[in-house]
Amino acid sequence: MNNHCPDSLRQLAVLLLSLLPLAVQSEPVSQVEWRPAARIIDFGIYLTSVDERVPAPDTTTGEISLLREPTLVQNTTRIPAIPKTSFGLRYQLDGIPVGEALAVTDVVITPGIHEPGSDNAPAYRQSWRDVVVAGKPRYTGYTFDYAWEAVPGPWRIEIWYGDSMLLAQDFQVVKSHRLQR
């Protein structure tokens, strides 16, 4: 065995060995765990326009509506139980690089809605998957497409990332024929 090394080779070996702890400690960028957070921009009653409907099996109607640029009409948590009323919130993701997309679950908790004539039990929770881009405001909400959906009582909208709830907003749906202030 020859223990003799030229000085330049010995220096290279020392340099490589000194960098080894850094290589072991650092994670590849693709494995860095984000800690997303969300903040509510506004909430209440919105004017909405349906762009298209897509399947959503964990909802009462089996579909959700993709909307074109919802516009806030009234900032409130009191929602009139009137068909075609849309309510919800706009929010923005923080804690991840701007422009990155994140899969979340939108959840709507209801006082129990039931389609007349159906054998289904009342629905207290509805959910669907969504993809949100960090740094870009996103709307989520609910529209009473049918009169039987406009059930008075406490409603709640939540946004989840995996097992972590990023935000929640409570609403009170009330029997009314005009908007409440």
Whether residue 74 is predicted with pLDDT greater than 90 in this model: the reply is: yes
Buried b (16+ CB within 10 A) or exposed e, 73-84: eeebebbbbbee
The class that CATH gives domain 37-174 is mainly beta
Residue 135's pLDDT band, with cuts at 50, 70 and 90, is very high
What average pLDDT does the structure give for the chain? 82
More confident residue, 181 or 168: 168
Give the long-range contacts of residues 177-180, CB within 8 A, separation 24 or more: 177/80, 177/82, 178/80, 179/45, 179/73, 179/74, 179/76, 179/80, 180/76, 180/78, 180/80
More confident residue, 5 or 81: 81
**Per-residue pLDDT tens over the stretch 140-149:** 999 999 999 9
Whether residue 79 is predicted with pLDDT greater than 80 in this model: the reply is: yes
Distant-in-sequence, close-in-space partners of 93: CB < 8 Å, separation ≥ 6: 36, 37, 38, 102, 132, 133, 134, 135, 138, 166
Q: What is the mean pLDDT of residues 57-85?
A: 86
- Gyration radius of the chain over CA positions: 25
Residue 2: per-residue pLDDT: 46
**Per-residue pLDDT tens over the stretch 10-34:** 554 444 445 444 444 444 444 557 7
SS3 assignment, position 17 = helix
Residue 53's pLDDT band, with cuts at 50, 70 and 90, is confident
Whether residue 179 is predicted with pLDDT greater than 70 in this model: the reply is: no
Residue 6's pLDDT band, with cuts at 50, 70 and 90, is low
Residue 121's pLDDT band, with cuts at 50, 70 and 90, is confident
| Terminal Cα distance for the chain, rounded | 89
